[in-house]
Structure 1
Amino acid sequence: MIFRYDGSYAGLLTVLQRLFARRETPDDIVRHESEQADLFAEVFPSNTEPELAARLNATIREHLGTETAANLRDAFLSDQPGIEMALYRYLRLGWRVRRELDRHLTDPEVATVHRAAQRTRHEAHRFKGLLRFRETDDGLLYAPFRPAADILAHLAAHFAIRLGDRRWLIHDVRRDLGALYDGRHWAIGALRLETAPTFSAEEDEWQELWRTFFHHIAIPERANPRLQKRFMPMKYWEFLVEKN
Structure 2
Amino acid sequence: MTVHPALTFETDGTFGGLLSAYAEAYRRGALPAEVRLAGEPASGALFGETVRVDADTALAERVERGVKRIKPGLVGRLHRAFLSERPGMEVAVLRLIDAARERGAGAAADWTFDPAREVSRWSGRVGREAHRMEAFVRFERVEVEGAERFVAHARPEYHVLPLLTAHFAGRYPTLAWRIVDVRRGLALVHTPEPDRAPAAPPTRIVPASALPEGGAAPEEESYQAMWKAYFRAVTIPERRNLKLHLRHVPRRYWPYLTEKQAE
TM-based fold match above 0.5: yes
Report if aligned partners of 1:120, 1:151 keep a CA contact under 8 Å in 2: yes
Structure 1 outlier segments of 4+, above 6 Å: none
Q: Does the residue aligned with 2:99 lie in a helix, a strand or coil? A: helix
- Cα distance in 2 for residues equivalent to 1:151 and 1:75: 11
For 2:18, the equivalent position in structure 1 comes to: 12
**CA–CA distance in 1 between the matches of 2:155 and 2:227?**
22
Preserved contact between residue 30 and residue 37 of structure 1 (Cα < 8 Å): no
Deviations 1:132-191 (A, max 9, x none): 011112321111211122211221210111124122112222222222222242222222
Relative to its length, the structure with more strand (as a share) is: 2
Matched with 1:46 is 53
- Specify the alignment match of 2:258 in structure 1: 241
Do residues 216 (structure 1) and 223 (structure 2) align? no
Residue in structure 2 matching 1:128, options 131, 134, 156: 134
Tell me the number of residue pairs that the alignment of Structure 1 and Structure 2 aligns: 243
Counterpart in 1 of 2:68? 61
Partner-residue secondary structure (3-state), 1:139: strand
User: Deviation of residue 36 (structure 1)?
Assistant: 6.3
Mapped to 1, the partners of 2:240 and 2:210 lie a distance apart of 38
Q: Hey, what does 1:162 align to over in structure 2?
A: 171
TM-score for both structures, normalised by structure 2: 0.84
CA distance in 2, matches of 1:78, 1:126: 15
Q: For the residues of structure 2 that align with 1:82 and 1:41, how far apart are their CA atoms?
A: 20
Who is 2:219 aligned against? 202
Range 192-201 or range 53-62, more displaced: 192-201
Q: What is the TM-score normalised by the length of structure 1?
A: 0.90
Counterpart AA for 1:173: V
Measured in 1, the distance between the counterparts of 2:47 and 2:252 equals: 37
Asked whether 1:147 is paired with 2:156, we answer yes
What is the root-mean-square deviation of aligned Cα atoms in Å?
2.0
Contact 1:168 1:180 in 2 (8 A): yes
